[in-house]
Amino acid sequence: MATPETRVVSVQRLNEGPGSRSLAEWWADEKKLQTPEAKAIEEAAQILRSSDIPVAFPTETVYGLGADATRSASVQGIYRAKQRPSDNPLIVHVDSLDMLNRLLNPTPTPRTPSSPSSTKTPRISIPEIYEPLLERFWPGPLTIILPNPSGSELAPEVTSNLTTFGVRMPSSALARLLIHATDRPLAAPSANASTKPSPTTAQHVYHDLHDRIELILDGGRSGVGVESTVVDGLCQPPAILRPGGIGIEELRTCPGWENVIVAYNDGTLDVKEIPRAPGMKYRHYSPKARVVLFEADSHFAGVVRHVQKDLQDTAIGAHTVGIIRTRNWPQGLGLASADVLASTMRPVSSAIENLHSFPVPVHETGSPSSRTKMAFDYHLGSETGAIAHGLFAALRALDELDVDVIYVEGISDRDGDLAAAVMNRLRKAAGAEMKV
């Protein structure tokens, strides 16, 4: 297959949404006016319906890599583009409850005159346990686990041969419009190369997947910054399989979910286990650099000693380092005095406001003289929302600077549900997790 030339097309105006119109009315108006955005959506929809090459598009969480969830060849295109393990299930995205109900009740294959008659298959409904969640959180960053019906229209590659599938309705009006225009449910994991940090901009997608896909719809920066929460209401008690944009305390306010439990592991599953949801089995969200995560209650002096030791140890090979700060670490992590920082710290890029560089004098082990190494300081802010929103961008920015190791200041899991989601992603990114 020829390598596609990847194009990035702006559809940011569509983030305004349909207003009081339905999706169908909005789409009809856009097509009638032949807006540039309508042409881009129509091209994307045509690729999704007829090609085996996926399309990248924005959602409110992160950018997704979409393919027609009903065609095996199309879904296989996701695995090829991402180089993703095939036993990692995909989340299905729908534009409406009507589309979901059609998935749950696939049209039966017509009987031939010689085939035996059968009783009519009872209609399958969304389990009642989910009704309060859908009423409150859909459209939104919540994925629910449902039984995959007999005669399912979903390609087997979507479910990785599980008897269930995960589905969500994104709150991004742009994403729902694309699904509506395609008239297909879309399987859509994050639009990054497998194991790499999830993309929150079209430029992140291009960096990972250029020459692997044809089209990236640019809707601007994603809002939430971490993926959807995945919940399973088919078990008792109901469980959270992946933390995300909807937190456990929010879920517990819904009838039937008062005793919801956490069923995910911040590590990885055993190699023989089949994950019940994406992100459960493999190391994920990882840049090229080694990532060292320090727990929130680590002693600052111990953190500094550890970083200085890494810089001094020639065996580690840390010639450039990145520092991702959140709530308590000072600028520069104490690796240089305030006077030195004031005179040497420089912004790295006008496009990234909180990223700065500064030199660090280091006396390496076994060396009689000192040398200067470069450090990069990235401050995410102290608010959990800002930390979640900027996390993947920070990892990517430092990776593009080819740092050797990234030190991250963790936040407490007890600081709220979004904080738990942030730490889940960081633990999956980290090659080492430390408390000093």
Predicted pLDDT of residue 281:
47
To the question of whether residue 242 is assigned a binding role by annotation, the answer is yes
Q: State how far the Cα of 423 lies from the Cα of 410, in Å rounded to an integer.
A: 7
CB atoms < 10 A from the CB of 324, how many? 27
Tokens of 257: 């979910």
Predicted pLDDT of residue 213:
97
Q: Poorest-confidence range of 63-72, 188-197, 261-270?
A: 261-270
Res 88 pLDDT > 80 = no
**CATH code for residues 7-107+121-224:** 3.90.870.10
Q: State how far the Cα of 138 lies from the Cα of 154, in Å rounded to an integer.
A: 21
Q: Which helix (H) or strand (E) holds 91?
A: strand 91-93
To the question of whether residue 88 is assigned a binding role by annotation, the answer is yes
Q: State how far the Cα of 194 lies from the Cα of 85, in Å rounded to an integer.
A: 8
Would you say the pTM of this structure is higher than 0.85? Answer: no
Cross-strand partners of 201: none
To the question of whether residue 61 is assigned a binding role by annotation, the answer is yes
Tokens of 163: 């008897």
Q: Which of 49 and 2 is assigned the larger pLDDT? A: 49
231-252 pLDDT, tens digit per residue, is: 999 999 999 998 888 988 899 9
Predicted pLDDT of residue 339:
87
Residues in the chain: 436
Q: Poorest-confidence range of 33-37, 59-63, 370-374?
A: 370-374
Cross-strand partners of 408: 293, 324
Please, is 406 exposed, middle or buried when counting C-beta atoms within 10 Å of its C-beta (0-12, 13-18, 19+)?
A: buried
To the question of whether residue 188 is assigned a binding role by annotation, the answer is yes
CB 241 within 8 Å of CB 224: no
To the question of whether residue 239 is assigned a binding role by annotation, the answer is no
Closest to 75 measured CA to CA, from 91, 57, 59: 91
Tell me the CB-side half-sphere exposure of residue 319, using CA atoms within 13 A: 3
Confidence of residue 65 (pLDDT cuts 50, 70, 90): very high
Res 175 pLDDT > 90 = yes
Res 145 pLDDT > 70 = yes
To the question of whether residue 7 is assigned a binding role by annotation, the answer is no
Confidence of residue 195 (pLDDT cuts 50, 70, 90): confident
Q: Which helix (H) or strand (E) holds 37?
A: helix 36-50
To the question of whether residue 93 is assigned a binding role by annotation, the answer is yes
- The one-character DSSP state at 294 is E
Predicted pLDDT of residue 97:
97
Predicted pLDDT of residue 368:
61
Confidence of residue 269 (pLDDT cuts 50, 70, 90): very low
209-222 pLDDT, tens digit per residue, is: 999 999 999 999 99
To the question of whether residue 63 is assigned a binding role by annotation, the answer is no
CB 188 within 8 Å of CB 90: yes
The mean pLDDT value for 177-198 works out to 94
Q: State how far the Cα of 277 lies from the Cα of 164, in Å rounded to an integer.
A: 10
Res 268 pLDDT > 60 = no
Out of 3.40.50.2000, 3.90.180.10, 3.40.50.300, 3.40.50.11030, the CATH code matching 290-434 is 3.40.50.11030
Res 118 pLDDT > 60 = no
Res 190 pLDDT > 90 = yes
To the question of whether residue 221 is assigned a binding role by annotation, the answer is no
For 68, 123, 131, 261, the CA distances from 126, given in Å and listed in that order, are 22, 10, 8, 21
Res 270 pLDDT > 50 = no
Tell me the CB-side half-sphere exposure of residue 156, using CA atoms within 13 A: 3
Residues forming CATH 3.90.870.10 domain(s) in the chain = 7-107+121-224
Please, is 352 exposed, middle or buried when counting C-beta atoms within 10 Å of its C-beta (0-12, 13-18, 19+)?
A: middle
Q: Which of 149 and 266 is assigned the larger pLDDT? A: 149
Residues forming CATH 3.40.50.11030 domain(s) in the chain = 290-434
To the question of whether residue 35 is assigned a binding role by annotation, the answer is no
To the question of whether residue 198 is assigned a binding role by annotation, the answer is yes
